[in-house]
Structure 1
């Protein structure tokens, strides 16, 4: 089978949808399928990527769903797009949604393949949902060419139905992780800088408002009063709020806080495996929670804010803790319960290691391939 992925963003930016596309790309390739990615970002050098990417449009930076993204400006004619699609001859085109008319919508309109969509996003604000409903009603029907619909989670499904209504059927299939990376890290000795008597709290994410690191810093301030010189907080990730958050940490007189900045995919598993507790304070706009599954894959107990996406994941994995978003005291209390109980951390380690295997690309990729085959069979009929 030949599979084409459509993404309106570009593949040179780190992001959850890029992780999803890359994971499926390499899994399907390993199973003998031919794979290609259609994306924006023609201003970038695709030879530096590990995937075969056809860029159709200059990507313009923008902001959506509480995070940075981009939209392509594609000036290729419809005739040229049809020629490209005919040359590639994909059996399935898999678009990442919400998609726009700037690129993916045009490719779908000119394609004769079977079209599958995965809806990824979560929108919490009622006014944004209303605006998207209105834009969908007044704009071009970008979904009329879709033959099969996947939602990445219950949280994403609720947003899709709030925007498009409940007439269309969705199949919920979670996102996956490259489990081998984390399995290998579990058996490594801890990094020397964390191999001491202090309990290491770890968080990972872009330093922007929706990731809620402010509330984790405030929770850590409460914890340091009860556990002086017993904890450290390691913050991996960078973003526009870094200086503001560092100023808050100084104002709160926090000690033993490490700001690692961007961490490479290669370094991340060993770093996570050297921690004791994973903290995920994101306040909203989360449809799933890759970071939760990655933390589970190295055996860490998870304390997360109960936004819709994170709460949906943790509901399936009892023992990990979800607390109200924007509530430092509740987060501190949940973290303290793990700090105080090495036995609870040890017990949850084994449960999480086993549970994470259900999110391997082998499991998720096989589910998506079955969905492709089912949708293709229905489309032919």
Structure 2
């Protein structure tokens, strides 16, 4: 098949959706498909053997939000950003000879459906969150197929659009994310418990919950891998709580470094309380043999085998989080059993399994009536 993976931020940002597109592109190309990644002009261009990458200009959403009427209209500003990309990218979508146009956000429904009408490609909607906007319910029922990153997200989409996407989950590279030697710069010789948090530093990620919980976990240190808009606030909070010497901000790191960091930690913490439909970091950690303590929210319960590869706690509850962490830190045998079970559990999220499900959705789309 000739496949266009169309998503503005694939080439401009780092995140779960962006990694999904790059990794899916690699796997589909490895299987013999002609894959083109289409995104906005940006600096992110990964090694993707056999994948063509096209970048088109767009107008950043923040420029739209300088307009008084759009200052607080987040969804509408993102929609306009996406439409500005479509103006430049539409000729390629129409004349590129694609069998499938796979979009990752409802914002791209209009351009993709127009390209289908004029060029004949089938449209597959990838569902990763709740990026809804006025008018999307008129467009969504016209697509040829939909896939979702979790059952939680599929139910959300079904409530909005009246159809339930096929759950394919997000995938991980199990050749990269697997048990390995710990990072030699992080290895501890004094037995200090080491906790890890990985992700973008956004308000709804709940990193502040992890910091408050750390007050109730004696001696433990917390490594925070990632960057984002709340970093300065979190650094100040660590100071105010008297935790500056026990909290280590490592910034954004290449994915290739993460397995050895997972191997150096005792537990991964995941503290999101909103906008979390899957949990790719949790799967990566488990694939590397690292147990997880996470909030019982969104897609997290689907990616943890509770009691066997990790524990779930109520969202935004530092005391419950601290108690679960202490339980595992005080029981090395149970923690080792979880570590041993985690890679086998995470194997269901390998790209081989995920791509099988995506290909099946593509075939269904091609066989659907237009």
Per the normalisation by structure 2, the TM-score is 0.86
Residue of structure 2 equivalent to 1:181: 176
Residue of structure 1 equivalent to 2:139: 142
- How far apart are 1:328 and its partner, in Å? 0.1
- CA deviation digits over 1:358-379, x for unaligned, max 9? 1111111112112212332334
Residue of structure 2 equivalent to 1:365: 355
Which of residues 215, 239, 254 in structure 1 aligns to 2:228? 239
Name stretches of at least 5 consecutive residues in structure 2 with no aligned partner. Answer: 63-72
Residue of structure 1 equivalent to 2:121: 113
Residue of structure 2 equivalent to 1:208: 202
Deviates more, 1:318-327 or 1:203-212: 318-327
Which of residues 331, 334, 337 in structure 2 aligns to 1:344? 334
Residue of structure 1 equivalent to 2:66: none
| Matched positions, count | 353
8 Å Cα contact 2:101/2:112 also seen in 1: no
8 Å Cα contact 1:100/1:142 also seen in 2: no
- How far apart are 1:204 and its partner, in Å? 0.6
8 Å Cα contact 1:37/1:53 also seen in 2: yes
Per the normalisation by structure 1, the TM-score is 0.84
Provide the rounded CA distance (Å) in 1 between the counterparts of 2:121 and 2:250: 44
Name stretches of at least 5 consecutive residues in structure 1 with no aligned partner. Answer: 124-131
Provide the rounded CA distance (Å) in 1 between the counterparts of 2:283 and 2:169: 11
Residue of structure 1 equivalent to 2:69: none
Which of residues 193, 197, 211 in structure 1 aligns to 2:186? 193
**For residues 46 and 351 of structure 1, do their structure 2 counterparts lie closer, same or farther at Cα, with a shift above 3 Å needed?**
closer
**For residues 189 and 327 of structure 1, do their structure 2 counterparts lie closer, same or farther at Cα, with a shift above 3 Å needed?**
closer
8 Å Cα contact 1:8/1:99 also seen in 2: no
8 Å Cα contact 1:81/1:107 also seen in 2: yes
- CA deviation digits over 1:137-196, x for unaligned, max 9? 5xxx3324411111211121122122223xx2421111101111112xx23244243232
Partner SS state of residue 216, structure 1: helix
What pairs with 1:79-158 in structure 2 (closer than 5 Å)? 81-82=90-91, 84-85=92-93, 87-100=95-108, 103-104=111-112, 106-122=114-130, 132=132, 134-136=134-136, 141-158=138-155
- How far apart are 1:307 and its partner, in Å? 1.4
Provide the rounded CA distance (Å) in 1 between the counterparts of 2:214 and 2:43: 42
